[in-house]
Amino acid sequence: MNRSLFFAAIICAMVSEGSLSSIHGQAPSPAPPAAVPVVPLKLPLTYVSAQTQADQLELNADNSFSLQEAGQTYHGMFSLTGNTLELRISETNANTTATMQGSTLIDGSGQTWVLREQPVLPTPGADVVKNQDVIRLVKAGLDDEIVIAKIGSSRCQFDTSPVALIGLAQSGVSAAVIKTMVAIGAPAAADTPPSPPAAAPSVQPPAGPTLVTGRVVWDGIPVPNALVQLWQSGDHNSSFKLVSTASAADGTFTMREPPTGRLRIGAVGPSPDYGGNHLLYPVTIVAGQRKNVGDLYVFKKLQLLSPANSATITTTTPTLQWTGFPGAARYDVRVFNSKTQQLVLSQSTQSTQIKVSPGLPGGQQYQWDVGAYGSRTMSTADSSTWYFTIPSTVADTAAGPPGQKSQAPSATELAAPKPLGERNYIDIKLGKTKKPQRFGDITLLLKDVDVKTNTYTVEVMADDKITEKRDKRINEPVQFYTSRGGRLPYELVINTVGKNEIVGYLSTPKETVAR
């Protein structure tokens, strides 16, 4: 087993008779030294080996130290003279030294140890959330609900002056969060005096380890032993897997020192009853920082029945069938043109089958999938993708006028009479403007588009609450709830991502149900 790097500097200086000498070549004093002088450091401090982060040196306020490496622990006392740190190791009654250089230590063997930022111990009134704390939470990618929950459970001291509110908005804080801050008000509790500003450190502490953390869930339930994967690009066809790890018993996971940059992350269920399509979420990993990606969703398998996969059919209005899933409140069915990837049908039903209407153009291959939904916005089960082909010989009988092109349905076509339980549809054509645009009883503001990856970011305002839907993919149903919709969600589907523009539709419940 490897010895401590500090301890190794002493062992290497052992003389043949077995006596120990320090790295300065002086034999240790057999008698205990005089009282160690108080060191002018802000203690406690922890230094971490730049080579092996599990190796740590802790300097305590009573001038004692603890040194850990490879499962072994050494103790003793330390003193500081100038920039020379002297350690007296109790286990060997020997001395060794290290040189302090800013926020690093260079030990006797030439190895580097870096200062790790210490957690601040809680003191009365210390946990006061201020404007800058809210900005940091938002920039970390936390949803509005989480930020507002943190505000509601903390002592707060907000600056709600006009200048401060403008600064919050420019930093990306949503209107819903700002409204909560204004409602709470500026002062913290009267018995909490303001803390004096901390003196700026002369040396910036080094960054900590690079970590990616999160949780794997199914229908809101933590999933242990799920496979969490980090991918180089945005989909499984053009990307390659970089690293992977498994979730713990409580569904949480930690990736240590993963690759950095703009990547994708997703999870695969731990057993055969999980399957179907699993989501890849965009994530930007910065070296030396911790990134919490929140919940990663996995889905159970939903089995498609007919038409058989890759079948050639003789009707333009096929009946699509699948097995039921326990607890499903509804099923969402999507049909795409395989060549153009345009959405040609999107329909919700409580049944386990639908009849495609109006008819599909012939001479085309189509792909379809089904998602089962319970009481939550995320699906509980997803099918794999199946294909069927309609020959061109069938096109003249049911596909409409000659020359008709396969394309995504308009809101008018989608709103045509359908079986019970269907929805209202509104065409969406949204450009990148400074002001939001109204569609039905909501407004949308396009924040960003990426034509290369077919992704977009949009702000949705419903019930005076703004929610950002970030890095959404083409043809991905984006669901949210409103007071008008009750328990039934609104759904935004974008079929086309262009330069500074997105095109698709918004579906809303025809009949509202109170929550």
At 439-472, the pLDDT tens digits run 888 899 999 898 877 889 999 988 778 888 888 8
DSSP β-ladder status, 290-297 and 211-218: parallel
- The span from the CA of 68 to the CA of 48, in Å, is 10
CA 207, 208, 209, 210 torsion: positive or negative?
negative
Over 50: is that where the pLDDT of 485 sits? yes
Find the mean pLDDT for residues 319-330: 91
User: What tokens does 306 get?
Assistant: 């007919």
φ/ψ of residue 91, rounded to 5: -65, -25
Superfamily name and number for 423-509: Tick-borne Encephalitis virus Glycoprotein, domain 1 (2.60.98.10)
**Residue 440 Ramachandran class (φ > 0 left, ψ -120 to 50 alpha, else beta):** left
- The span from the CA of 424 to the CA of 491, in Å, is 10
**The predicted structure's pLDDT at residue 223:** 92
In DSSP terms, 439 is beta-bridged to: 442
Which of helix, strand or coil describes residue 147?
Answer: helix
Greatest alpha-carbon span in the chain: 105
Find the mean pLDDT for residues 314-334: 91
Domains 5-116 and 423-509 share a fold: no
Q: What is the percentage of the chain residues whose pLDDT exceeds 70?
A: 73
Over 70: is that where the pLDDT of 63 sits? yes
φ/ψ of residue 475, rounded to 5: 65, 10
pLDDT in tens, 5-51: 554 554 443 333 333 333 333 344 444 444 333 345 667 788 888 77
Which residue bears the tokens 């910065």?
A: 286
Contact 384, 305 (CB under 8 A): no
**The predicted structure's pLDDT at residue 353:** 94
**The predicted structure's pLDDT at residue 40:** 52
**The predicted structure's pLDDT at residue 386:** 92
**DSSP 8-state assignment for residue 257:** S
Domain layout of the chain by residue ranges: 5-116, 128-184, 211-290, 302-407, 423-509
**The predicted structure's pLDDT at residue 60:** 79
**DSSP 8-state assignment for residue 139:** H
Report which of residues 159 and 324 the model is more confident about: 324
Query: Domain 302-407 belongs to what architecture?
Result: Sandwich (2.60)
**What angle, rounded to 10 degrees, do the helices at 175-184 and 131-139 form?**
160
Find the mean pLDDT for residues 230-238: 57
CA angle 386, 390, 394 (to 5 degrees): 160
Query: Domain 211-290 belongs to what architecture?
Result: Sandwich (2.60)
Confidence of residue 413 (pLDDT cuts 50, 70, 90): low
- The span from the CA of 93 to the CA of 76, in Å, is 9
DSSP β-ladder status, 104-107 and 112-116: antiparallel
**Residue whose C-alpha is closest to residue 360's, from 379, 339, 377:** 339
- Topology classification of domain 5-116: Lipocalin (2.40.128)
66 CB contacts (<8 Å, ≥6 apart)? Answer: 57, 58, 60, 73, 74, 75
- The span from the CA of 389 to the CA of 315, in Å, is 10
Contacts 24+ apart (CB under 8 A), 228-232: 228/253, 228/255, 228/265, 228/266, 228/267, 228/296, 229/265, 229/266, 229/267, 229/268, 230/255, 230/258, 230/259, 230/263, 230/264, 230/265, 230/283, 231/263, 231/264, 231/265, 231/266, 231/280, 232/263, 232/264
